[in-house]
Amino acid sequence: MDVPYDLTSYVRVLKMATTPTTEEFLQVSKIAGAGILLVGFVGFLIGAIMLFLTGGGGF
């Protein structure tokens, strides 16, 4: 592991990086939120199916 080489490559990446615009941030937030909702919905469906298949006591 060549520390000076690694450090210079990290500094170069940080210099190239920019702060996202508000529009970019909102778009990424919407996509991430939709992904979270989709995963939650799939988990809910799996849980409902498992509850149905196992007899579903408790309601």
Q: Where are the alpha helices (DSSP H) in the chain?
A: 3-16, 22-53
The predicted structure's pLDDT at residue 38: 98
| pTM of the complete model | 0.64
State how far the Cα of 38 lies from the Cα of 7, in Å rounded to an integer. Answer: 39
* Closest to 35 (Cα-Cα) out of 52, 7, 27: 27
Q: Is the C-alpha dihedral spanning 9, 10, 15, 19 positive or negative?
A: positive
Domain parsing of the chain, residue ranges: 20-59
Per-residue pLDDT of the chain (59 residues; tens, 9 = 90+): 566 678 888 888 889 988 999 999 999 999 999 999 999 999 999 999 999 999 876 55
